Amino acid sequence: MTANGIDRYGVMGYPVAHSRSPVIHRLFALQTGQNIQYDLLQVAPDKLEKALQQFRRTGGKGLNITVPHKGEVARLVDRMSERASCAGAVNTIVFSDDEVFGENTDGIGLIRDLTTNLGLNLPNAKILILGAGGATRGIVAPLLEAKPESLFIANRTLSRASALVSRFSSFGKVTACSFEDAQSLPAFDLVINATSAGLKGENPPYPESAVAGHTICYDLSYGLTPTPFSRWGAEQGAARSVMGWGMLVEQAAESFYIWRGVRPDTAIVLKQLAINA
């Protein structure tokens, strides 16, 4: 809490200047009548533990955690939810008098965007996830819980995709394949890009055969202009090719609810941000 009685929150990452979280949470606060302060906190990896302790010591109530700290924070909290434990990553922290609690709202944010905002019917859908890194780890269990017909994880290194299959097979049927193998698979209903390929100037390993006229292409990344994957999906003739703005707002709303006990209307905020999700 600040000297003037306002509860303090923030987003901690490295880098973090690009984050839209302060804008989103201020809109949530205005909408719900909550008196909060929400700051950008750029913290280098070697300063992370000390920064968390300092934020808590000075009265901070909660934090969002973004790249590259989500995995490390999972090792620093006193207790975490089943969702966070399953993902091996924390993106939301609650500070109380007796503990530091970690949660992961990424998966529920994605599911709400796909189903509520985009109107997708996930049960019996054929889903392909591109990439087997931390972003994928946070969304596999929630997707499997939606009971799709099939879920494939494709990765450049097959062993990384196979490791995720072993980790999440108890949640439902999930299959690993290489990017090359994905080229021979029939079209999917939903293709999710969880890689940074294209953003870093690499050759994107997107499988053209995965997209047909009914396919939704969804990029976990987002930007003020279309991402390489978003452009690629549109070029392949996908029914829709969208970026992860809706997921960003939905996961933030879940964090806000955990902290404040009130759930903001995300549709209003998406409109206020002038984002075509």
Amino acid identity at 36: I
The beta-carbon contacts of 39-44 under 8 Å, at least 24 apart in sequence, are 39/8, 39/9, 39/10, 39/11, 40/10, 40/11, 40/16, 41/10, 41/11, 41/12, 41/13, 41/16, 42/12, 42/13, 42/14, 42/15, 42/16, 42/17, 43/12, 43/13, 43/14, 43/16, 43/69, 44/14
Tell me which of 47, 50, 61, 70 is the catalytic residue: 70
Cα gap 66→89, rounded to integer Å: 10
DSSP 46: G
Structure tokens at 124: 């019996």
> To which H or E segment does residue 140 belong?
helix 140-145
Catalytic: 271?
A: no
* Residue whose tokens read 């987002």: 222
Structure tokens at 166: 């072993």
CA angle 173, 178, 183 (to 5 degrees): 95
Give me the active site residues, please: 70
